[in-house]
Amino acid sequence: MNQNYKAEPYRIKMVEPIREIPKTKRIKLLKNAGYNPFALKSEDVYIDLLTDSGTGAMSQAQWGALMQGDEAYAGSRSFYRLESVVKHITNYQYFIPAHQGRGAEQVVLPQFVHKKGMSFISNMHFDTTRAHVELAGARAIDCVIDECFDTAKHHPFKGNFNLEKLKRIIEDKGSDNIAGIILTITNNSAGGQPVSMENLEATAKIARSYGIPVIIDGARFSENAYFVKMREEGYQDHSILEIAQEVFAMADVFLMSAKKDGLVNMGGIIAIKDNEQLFKKVQGAIVPMEGFPTYGGMSGRDMEALAVGLQEGLEEDYLRHRIDQVRYLGDQLREAGVPIQYPTGGHAVFVDAKAIAPHIPYDQFPAQSVVNALYIESGVRAVEIGSLLLGRDPDTNENIDTPLQFMRLTIPRRTYTYNHLKVVADGVIKVFNDRKKLKGLTFTYEPQILRHFTAKMQPIK
């Protein structure tokens, strides 16, 4: 292994056995799963890169904190401990827990939609955010820079907003019809790509000039802060916390799936800077949807673990290793000629399936074909980030075409070693070398909302 990749900043204290089942069995299991790896049993997966959401390993400090959980229905001391940590990191006045990110979205986003025809603008909405925008009666508009779509081109901040396009959208729609501007950091759908501080500041300034609320979708805010420190001039001497606090100062609301940079298996965050009226609305809405405001769908022990995890996630030593693991896998693939979103981002390597399988149309889901081939080849479970995930246009009901048809190789935190990632790379390279045999897919069952989770498919002959 190249010495430029940082070794694991931890020792392994406990192990979980994994097994690689025969290829002939994997073929049958995938068919029975409707060619959707979401439907596979975890015990039938060798290396699981489906998601980094809640799949990482907790530290000994977090496991110790679990034992201190106060499970009181109201006024739990675990809530107040977590509240103090969230307020310290964000400098926001109000905090409510949620069971995970989508719990926060379903409670908060509708509060900004007060008439028909409204839209949220984001650098790129991810799946549940887009779904909750549409369920709230609004529309999701993506506004990322053009460099994002050239996967081979190096740009340090491919997750950035397209500022000129942002202003045009606001002028065309009218500022009264923009429910909010969502800063997605890091930008997952763009390839886990970071957003620069300069771009965030400019975006927030535009929002303020039009009187539009700013919402941070910050599941990976620590990873984004690390990229700012490493890649943006003027931030090398700043701590990760200082960078994060500068970002939070730009926004009105912070929503987080804490299952990412919070380093826990379950949890979410709603933080509101200083809008007491909004806080009271959210507080009222969370009771029937998530739970009492001092637990919001979380157990006391989970709040204790999250209070520790949020602080551990800010540690630069941990973040360097985290980002280096992603870079290592990306470098292995690039050296073999596999096209990926370059440079690699924070939590995953995004393989350019459109470049691998140009013979498969977008509405036959080339990235899903590559995902399935990887499982058959090596027992590795990945996920499609493309037209299957995007779903159908809510107005035309047509499949949404996107130039970004990705297979996402999502690396859980503190879970796999570099050798595991070498196995993943070998499997992807084999699929790439045999790419002409890949076939498109068609639905045998298609749910209306978030279809990629439960759809059933079959190969087109």
Indicate which residues carry an active-site annotation.
73, 126-127, 217, 219, 260, 452
Nearest CA-CA partner of 262 in 74, 47, 132, 82: 82
- Residue 340 and residue 68: Cα distance in Å, rounded? 44
Closest C-alpha among 48, 138, 42, 144 to residue 408: 48
Question: CA-CA distance, 193 to 154, in Å (whole number)?
Answer: 11
Rounded to 5 degrees, φ, ψ at 385 are -125, 90
Q: From the CA atom positions of the chain, what is the Rg in Å?
A: 21
- HSE (side-chain half, CA atoms, 13 Å) at 412: 20
Residue 427, both tokens: 């499997």
Q: Which two tokens stand for residue 110?
A: 């509708």
Q: What is the DSSP string of 41-100?
A: -GGG-SEE-S--SS-SPPPHHHHHHHTT----SSS-HHHHHHHHHHHHHH--SEEEEESS
What pairs with residue 383 in β-bridges? 408
Closest by alpha carbon to 184, among 216, 141, 136? Answer: 216
CA 240, CA 246: separation in Å to the nearest integer? 10
Neighbour tally for 204: CB within 10 Å: 21
Q: Please count the residues of the chain.
A: 461
Residue 455, phi then psi, degrees to nearest 5? -65, 155
Burial group, residue 448, by CB count within 10 angstroms (0-12, 13-18, 19+) = exposed
**386, 404 in Cβ contact below 8 A?**
yes
DSSP bridge pairs for 255: 217, 270
Give one word for 391, left, alpha or beta, with left for phi > 0 and alpha for psi -120 to 50.
left
- C-alpha dihedral over 424, 414, 240, 156, to 10 degrees? 0
Buried b (16+ CB within 10 A) or exposed e, 139-153: bbbbbbbebbeebee
For 310, the 3-state DSSP assignment is: helix
What the block records as the tokens of 86 is 């969230």
Locate the DSSP E strands across 353-450: 380-381, 383-385, 406-410, 441-445
